Chain A
Amino acid sequence: MAEFKKADSMLEWFDQRLGVVNFAKVMMTEYWIPKNINFLWAMGVLLTVLFTFLVVSGIFLLMYYKPDVNMAFDSVNYTIMQEVAYGWLFRHIHAVGASVVFLVIYIHMFTGIYYGSYKKGREMIWVSGMLLFVLFSAEGFSGYMLPWGQMSYWAAYVITELFGGIPFIGNELVVWIRGNFYVSDSTLTRFFMLHVLLLPLLIIGAIVFHFYALRFPHVNNEEGEFFDFDEEAEKYKAGDKKGSKVVAFWPVFLSKDFFVLGFFMLFFFYLTFFHYGFAMDAINFDKADGLKTPAHIYPEWYFLWSYEVLRGFFFDIAGISGKSLGLIAFGIANVIFFLLPWLDRSPMVKPANQRPYFKYWFWLMMADLVVLTVFGKLPPTGINAWIGFASSMTFLILFASLPFITKAEAKKAGGK
């Protein structure tokens, strides 16, 4: 063991044992972020804060929630909402937080796409981010089941039923997932386990990995400019703070994040206290009843676009059933974003609006996702079904054409 001299201060005592001074430098005061950024660069911190809110409110809910089909509904709506001091507050924060976290995830994700922050060395940031998206989706889906209301039950029924479409093993898979032939107590308890243990563990791991993945390629900036971070950091440390292209994570970057966070939380608390209906569907205040199918079954808003891709194929094409086509398209929709770094063949790292062809692709994709989301909620009848089909096809075609569009763009840029 190394020789320890007597520490003169508490800081030194900890520093000797844990290297806290160096750790703070690496993590905070000498972690360099580009200066040329806008408020969209605060989404990561917003997400970290929201996730913390979800964990803390979740812990309080966990103290009173009962994962049992006979008790779950009342444990949420009576015990937590009415009996426990501020139980309603934790539930509202948890429900609204779960919905808003997806809004911020989408903004974060499309910021990444807009500024090209997924390529030329940043592939692992993108992939780990997409992994987080999938884990959050699973977390959202499993959590939605827990209050055991009508929509909890029927969404669980519809989504688990989807796996039945997988060839050969479908039916067995559905039973394996549900733990029974229908959505039942065993389904509730296993999704409870996923929601409060396995998925949160994986999410925390993936968050750490996502942060780590940022370290080497560094954070992108508003112009997609590549520069030598070490050189700029030296400039900053030497006192030329105005001339340097980087700022320190603490306090400079975070001071801006806190400012964005402050106004964002104002919006968040407004939703939590006064406008929570979008995150707590009225139908879910009816207790689950397997014999009473609701007139309209729809997932939470953040799944609507992929749900619409699933529903979009409502007729058979070339002898393949609409149901299978929908399932294939749904499968593609859920993994295709992972491949974005390799589908974009243009080496250009720039904001979409400065890219000759990609800008059309980007805004078309945004418009298409909005249309898919809205029609994912509407009843799929009459013209709605056709709009659903057209926008699902648009989604697939946009992705299929991306390599060609970006290849052409690369050529054009190269020719200049």
Chain B
Amino acid sequence: MEFIYISLAVALVLLVLHFVMLKLSLNKEVRILVIIASLVGFTYWGIEPYAHHIMHPEVAEADFTFKDLKNVDTSLAGNAENGKVLVEANCIACHSIESAGFPQMMPNADAAASYGVVPPDLSSAGRIYDKNYLANFIFDPVSAMHLQHKYTPESGKSFPMPSYNWMSAQEIMDIVAYFESIAPKVAEGSEAHKQSFDAACGRCHSMAYAGSEALTPAETIKNYMGATPPDLSQYIKSRGHHYLNNFINDPQVLLHGTSMPRVGLTEKAQEEVIAYMEEVGDRKKAERETLGLWVMLYTLIFAILAYLWKRKIWSEVH
């Protein structure tokens, strides 16, 4: 219906334009140009922005506060000292924390075989994950990841990390404070982009065009996820910024039922991840945009010279 209204509105505008053009007794060539531009412009609008909007309806804005997660009172100030003790007692049996001197216990393939997927190194957890998300993840990983549909009691599957819902909110916030205190300060720019991508995505996803392979071996991850997570080399082009921004924030919104978890990245970390995907997937962007301006400038000069030449030549025949 919307389409019909808009078409009628456009037809009306064209009609008015037609009479205005007649009234102004515009040059015939200008009138032809206006008619062609209107027809082409309208068709373009129909097959690009309009069709896109029909095929990909808008979804809720990305929520970087993860306000649906309310199990832990995140207003409590955490104690990193105590957090360190808790982490050493509860986490490092499975997780490495390279930045705090806890190395990986076994090679990736063995870790993947034991847990289904390589457990993440927690060095940068305090930097890339949202505080509220991280606290609620420790409390109950499955609900934080929005994977309740995958780990139902009937499925017989259980997420490799247990819930720490027996901990007090204060203890959980102590752990969060500890992670924040040990997260390495990374440089800005492409180095930070790559680091965020590796930490957030690299355990499951390969990036062939950057020469990196998922840490979890392909067969293991396929078994764990139900399908092989795609290589992300061209995702900046096949999905685009807007989609990725919504999708990474909460995959269920755009791909209901997917086994990809919500990873809980902060807005900044997610921007870094997408920036990295662009650096790998659209490596020539800067070159393209600079060269584009020069080529257009050159063409403009050509067009002006051609116009002047045409005027000179046609003055002899008119």
Say if the beta carbon of A373 comes within 8 Å of chain B: yes
Q: Does A7 sit at the interface, judged by CB under 8 A?
A: no
B39 touches A366 (CB 8 A): yes
Residues of B within 8 A of A339 (CB): none
Question: What's the tally of chain B residues with a CB closer than 8 Å to chain A?
Answer: 55
**Complex CA–CA separation, A256 to B310 (angstroms):** 5
**Contact of B302 with A39 in the complex, beta carbons under 8 Å:** no
Which positions 266-301 of chain A face chain B at CB distance < 8 Å?
266, 269-270, 272-274, 277-278, 282-286, 295-296, 301
Give the residues in chain A near B3, CB-CB below 8 Å.
Answer: 374, 378
8 Å CB contact of B292 from A74, A258, A274:
A274
* Complex Cα gap A397–B313 (Å): 47
B314 within 8 A of A: yes
Whether B209 sits at the interface, judged by CB under 8 Å, is: yes
Is the Cβ of A39 less than 8 Å from the Cβ of B29?
yes
Q: Which residues of A contact B47 (CB under 8 A)?
A: 278, 301, 304, 373-374, 376-377
Q: Which residues of B contact A376 (CB under 8 A)?
A: 47
Q: Which of B29, B43, B293 contacts A38 (CB 8 A)?
A: B29
For A262, give its contact among B54, B234, B304 (CB under 8 Å): B304
7 nearest A-B residue pairs (beta carbon): A262-B303, A273-B292, A374-B46, A285-B238, A285-B237, A258-B306, A259-B310
B318: chain A residues within 8 A (beta carbon): 242
Partner of B306, one of A74, A244, A255, A278: A255
Complex CA–CA separation, A107 to B300 (angstroms): 23
Q: Select the stretch in B81-89, B165-173, B281-289 that faces chain A.
A: B281-289
Q: Which residues of A contact B291 (CB under 8 A)?
A: 89, 273
In the complex, what residue of chain B is closest to A244 when comparing beta carbons? B317
Nearest chain B CB to A148 CB, angstrom units: 12
Q: Does B253 lie at the interface of the complex (its beta carbon under 8 Å from any beta carbon of A)?
A: no
Decide: A270 and B296 in contact? CB cutoff 8 A.
yes
- Give the size of the chain A interface in residues (CB under 8 angstroms): 55
Give Cα A256 to B29, complex, Å.
13
Q: Which B42-56 residues have a C-beta within 8 angstroms of A?
A: 42-44, 46-48, 50-51, 54-55
A211 and B316 alpha carbons, distance in the complex (Å) = 27
Query: Cβ of A216 < 8 Å from any Cβ of B?
Result: no
**Interchain nearest-CB distance for B241 vs A (Å):** 11
Do B32 and A274 touch across chains, with their CB atoms under 8 A apart? no
Q: Does A35 contact B (CB under 8 A)?
A: yes
Alpha-carbon distance A167/B293, docked complex (angstroms): 54
Interface pair A38/B299, CB less than 8 Å apart: no
User: Given that A38-B32, A241-B316, A282-B237 are known contacts, is A373 also in contact with B46, CB under 8 Å in the complex?
Assistant: yes
Kindly count the residue-residue contacts between A and B in the assembled complex, taking CB atoms under 8 Å apart: 137
Q: How far is the CA of A138 from the CA of B305 in the complex (A)?
A: 37
The answer for the CA separation of A40 and B293 in the assembled complex, in Å, is 28
A332: interface (CB < 8 Å): no
**Subset of 10 A-B contacts with CB under 8 Å:** A74-B208, A89-B291, A241-B316, A242-B317, A244-B317, A262-B306, A273-B292, A273-B296, A301-B47, A373-B46
Please indicate the chain B residues that have their CB under 8 angstroms from the CB of A166 in the complex.
Answer: none
Closest-by-CB residue of A relative to B55 is: A296
Is the C-beta of A252 less than 8 angstroms from some C-beta in chain B? yes
0/1 interface trace, chain A 95-113, chain B, CB 8 Å (1 if under): 0000000010001000000
Q: Is B28 an interface residue (CB 8 A)?
A: yes
Task: Tell me whether B234 and A77 are in contact (CB under 8 A).
Answer: yes
CA distance A370 to B38 in the complex (A): 11
Q: Does B309 contact A (CB under 8 A)?
A: yes
Q: Are A286 and B238 in contact (CB under 8 A)?
A: yes
Q: How far is the CB of B57 from chain A (nearest CB, A)?
A: 12
Check if A121 is an interface residue, CB within 8 A of chain B: no
Q: Does A52 contact B (CB under 8 A)?
A: no
Smallest CB separation, B50 vs chain A (Å)? 7
